[in-house]
Structure 1
Amino acid sequence: MKAPRSEREEERLEALRDYRILDTPPERAYDDLTALAAYVCDVPIALISLVDSDRQWFKSKFGLEATGTSRDVSFCAHAILEDKILVVEDTHLDSRFAANPLVTSEPNIRFYAGVPLLSPEALPLGTLCVIDHEPRELSAAQIKALEGIARQVVSQLELRRVSARLALALEKINLIEELIPICSYCKAIRNDAGYWSSVETFIKQHSDVAFTHGVCEACIEKHFPEVAEAMRKQDAASL
C-alpha cells in the first residue's frame, strides 16, 4: 500500500533539502550509528533513510547493497507519518505491506522498525530503521536505545547544517573585508563583473537582509526644509 502524504509535505521537503545531504558520499559518523542500531536490535539490516519527493535514499546502510528505493514501496514513507517508532512485527500479517515487492522479493522484509528523524521544527526527514528476514519483536530497552540512536543521527545532520551556514557566513565576512569600489557621488557599488549597482542591490546579493526606506533628519533639513520647519513647530507645541 502506498503511503499518503502529510499536510506539511512541501515544508518537510524544503527542510530536508536545507541539510544538503541527499546523494552525498558515505560518512563514518553515520555508518557507525547504523552498525550500532543493527547490533542493539540484533538484526541483519539497519538504514538511515531520507524520504525525498519520489524516492527514499539511504545515507547509511548496514547489511544492504541498495542505495535507495522508490517512495511508492517505502516502509519509511509510512513511518514518517507517525509521531513515534513504527514497528511491524510480521509484514505478512500487515495489509499495508503484505504485497509489497520488498516483502515478496529481495530483500524479503519480514520485520521492520523505523524511528522518524525529526528536525528541530518537528519535520520528519526520514527514519533510522532496522530490518529482519524473520518475524520478531523488540524489547522496551531496544526501542529506547533505537530512539536514542535516531536522536544522534539528527544531531549529526544539525551539525552538518550549522557548519555549512558558518562557512557561508565566513565567506560573506571575507567579502566585506575586501576593498569594495564605491562611487564617490551616487554611492553605487561595482561588482566583480565590472557593473555598477545600488548599495541595496549589492547587499541583497550577498546576504538575506531586506531593506525599508526612510529619510533621516539631516536629509529632511536639506531637501524638505518646509517639512523640517513644520516638525520643529509640532515638537515645540507638544512641549
Structure 2
Amino acid sequence: MPPSSRLPALHSYDILHSAQEPLFDDLTALAAYIFSVPVARIAFVADEEVWHKAGVGMPAQDSLPIEQSICPQAVRHELPVLVFPDLAARPELSTPAMRAQQVVFYAGAQLRAPQGGCLGTLCLAGYEPRELTAAEQQMLAHLAELTMLALEARRRLRAADAGRWEQLRRTAETELRNQMALVRYLKVRSGGQVPVPADFLEEVSRRLREVADILAAAGQEQAR
C-alpha cells in the first residue's frame, strides 16, 4: 500500500478518539506484564498527531504532536518491529517529549491492516536500556497481530451490527482475562526472567490462539 493510502485505511477503522474499550486496555496490560516493562501503549499515527487508544504507565486517550512521538519511525520502518535499546546513547533518535519523560528503551510492533497499510503500533517503553531477543520481538509482533484482529473485527461488526461487536468484545475480553490468569501463573513459574525465556513466550503464544480464533472467526463471518 502506498503511503498516500495509509491514512484512508486508518480512518476506515473509525478508531481515532474513540471511547476506551476494555479489550484494548487488557491487551496493553498483557504486553506490559509479559515483558516486565512500565509502559505499553496502542498508538495510531494520524497526519498531525499520534493518538493512544489504550495504555499502561502513561495515559490512554492521549494525543501527542506527531514530531513528539517515536511511533512514526516504527510505522515507516521496513521491519515489523523497531527496537531502540538505549535512546540515551542515541538522543538524535528520540524526541523532546520522550527525553522529558526519561524514556530510554522503546520497541514498537506495527499494526498492519489486511490491505497492507500500517495504522500505528503496539509499543513498549522503559526507563532503563533493554535489548529484545528474537523470540521477544516475535511475541510483540504476535500481540500486535492480535490487536489488529480485534480492530478488524470491530470495524466489520460495527458496520453491520454494533450490538454484535459489543457481544463479541465481551466474549473476547473474558477469554483474554482467562488466558491472562494462566500467563501470570506461567510467569511466576518461570521466575519473571528478563529477557523473557523463549519457552515461556511459546506457551503464551499458544494460549492466546484461543482469543485470536474468536476474533478472526468474527471478522471472517462478516467478510462472507
TM-based fold match above 0.5: yes
Within the candidate set 91, 97, 105, 2:93 is matched to 97
One-letter amino acid matched to 1:151: E
Question: Residue deviations 1:155-205, cap 9 Å, x none?
Answer: 01100111123239xxxxxxxxxxxxxxxxxxxxxxxxxxxxxxxxxxxxx
Query: Which stretch shifts more, 146-155 or 136-145?
Result: 136-145
Question: Residue deviations 1:29-66, cap 9 Å, x none?
Answer: 10111011111111000000000110000010111126
Does the 8 A contact of 2:69 with 2:98 survive in 1?
Answer: no
- Give 1:206's aligned residue: none
Question: Residue deviations 1:193-224, cap 9 Å, x none?
Answer: xxxxxxxxxxxxxxxxxxxxxxxxxxxxxxxx
One-letter amino acid matched to 1:104: R
Within the candidate set 77, 80, 87, 2:75 is matched to 80
Deviation at 1:9, TM superposition (A): 3.0
CA distance in 2, matches of 1:8, 1:49: 20
Equivalent position SS for 1:165: helix
Within the candidate set 111, 120, 139, 1:126 is matched to 120
CA distance in 1, matches of 2:33, 2:99: 25
Unaligned runs of 5+ in 1: 1-6, 169-239
Unaligned runs of 5+ in 2: 163-224
Does the 8 A contact of 1:46 with 1:130 survive in 2?
Answer: yes
Deviation at 1:88, TM superposition (A): 0.1
- Give 1:157's aligned residue: 151
The answer to which structure, 1 or 2, has the higher relative contact order (CA under 8 A, 6+ apart) is: 2
Within the candidate set 10, 30, 38, 1:16 is matched to 10
One-letter amino acid matched to 2:33: Y
Gap change, CA 1:10 and 1:28, over 3 Å in 2: same
Identity across aligned pairs (percent)?
36
> Segments of 4+ in structure 1 off by > 4 A?
none
Q: Which has the higher helix share?
A: 2
CA distance in 2, matches of 1:91, 1:132: 10
Query: Which stretch shifts more, 111-120 or 8-17?
Result: 8-17
One-letter amino acid matched to 1:75: I
Equivalent position SS for 1:50: strand
Equivalent position SS for 1:80: helix
- TM-score normalised by L of structure 2: 0.67
CA distance in 2, matches of 1:103, 1:35: 21
